[in-house]
């Protein structure tokens, strides 16, 4: 029960990394609010894990972020942990084929959402005496793959902004850390690969990961539990690579 008594808000929590993180947080004693464009999915996960609330919302819209924060404080009295997990990518393709609309959407979901969240929760966490923010970055921002230039750049922004926020918010006792997974077993996998998700195509990408498999939701969830817990009370500004050795 490493998160007993804590309240967490997780974006993009209806599936993939976010859903598993919500489940693990609940198992460790946290109350959880799940925010996702798939509102039905968010509510379903919340109902499955108990002591949780789910709601539909767009992380690129400040009022939706504010509503999620209000739900957390209204239902559970406080907000201790935020996991900025919601993310998106265009399909792997040559850089000149990426449209402006795709570029804008990548940066709105992957980067601007964190801007909105910081403005929404930092005053609250400061009044409470501290908190923990965990951003889901990516190994793409450390060791990029071709065909994903603007996604790679957006995750580089997530990785670096996590370090900068850690420095700036440390006097408020707000920790900011980043989990950077390698390509994972989620709904975005085929978009990252840019080819059909077949065993043969998976094998080509798995061959670039020394430990010989893709990231699993549980890998990311366990890293988030650690960073959110008191076990990591002296860690801030960390980019924790969950990558099977990909970035070594």
* Mean pLDDT in order along the chain per 10 residues (248 residues): 97 96 98 98 96 97 98 98 96 95 97 98 98 97 94 97 98 98 77 76 86 94 98 97 94
The CB density around residue 51, as the number of other CB atoms within 10 Å, is 14
H or E element that contains 8:
strand 7-11
Cα 170 to its chain centre, rounded Å, is 20
Question: Other CB atoms closer than 10 Å to residue 39's CB: what's the count?
Answer: 15
195, 201 Cβ separation under 8 angstroms: yes
Q: Write the CA distances from 161 to 127, 131, 132, integer angstroms.
A: 23, 17, 15
Looking at residue 187, what is its pLDDT? 66
DSSP state of 183: S
Can you read off the two tokens belonging to residue 243? 């990558």
Q: Which of 25, 88, 107, 151 is catalytic?
A: 151
What CA–CA distance (Å, rounded) separates 248 from 243?
A: 9
Active site residue 226: no
> Which helix (DSSP H) or strand (DSSP E) does residue 113 occupy?
helix 113-128
- How much is the pLDDT for 193? 73
**What CATH class is the domain 7-242?**
alpha beta
The DSSP symbol for 144 reads P
Residue that has been written with the tokens 């750049």 in this structure: 153
Given this model, what pLDDT does residue 194 score? Answer: 75
């Amino acid at each position: 029960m490493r998160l007993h008594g804590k309240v967490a808000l997780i974006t993009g929590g209806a599936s993939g990394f976010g859903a598993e993180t919500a489940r693990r947080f609940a198992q460790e004693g946290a109350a959880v609010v799940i925010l996702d464009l798939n509102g039905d999915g968010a509510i379903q996960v919340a109902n499955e894990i108990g002591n949780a609330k789910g709601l539909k919302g767009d992380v690129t819209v400040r009022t939706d972020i504010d509503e999620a924060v209000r739900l957390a404080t209204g239902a559970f009295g406080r907000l201790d942990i935020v996991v900025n997990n919601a993310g998106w990518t265009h399909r792997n393709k040559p850089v000149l084929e990426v449209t402006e609309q795709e570029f804008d959407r990548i940066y709105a979901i992957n980067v601007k959402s964190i801007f909105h969240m910081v403005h929404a929760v930092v005053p609250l966490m400061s009044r409470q005496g501290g908190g923990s923010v965990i951003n889901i970055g990516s190994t793409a921002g450390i060791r990029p793959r071709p065909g994903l230039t603007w996604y790679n750049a957006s995750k580089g922004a997530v990785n670096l902004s996590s370090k900068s926020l850690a420095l700036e918010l440390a006097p408020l006792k707000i920790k900011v850390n980043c989990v950077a997974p390698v390509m994972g077993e989620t709904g975005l996998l085929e978009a990252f690969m840019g080819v059909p998700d077949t065993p043969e195509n998976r094998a080509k990408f798995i061959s670039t990961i020394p430990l010989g498999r893709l990231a699993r939701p549980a890998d990311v969830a366990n890293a988030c539990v650690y960073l959110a817990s008191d076990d990591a009370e002296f860690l801030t500004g960390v980019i924790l690579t969950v990558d099977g050795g990909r970035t070594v």
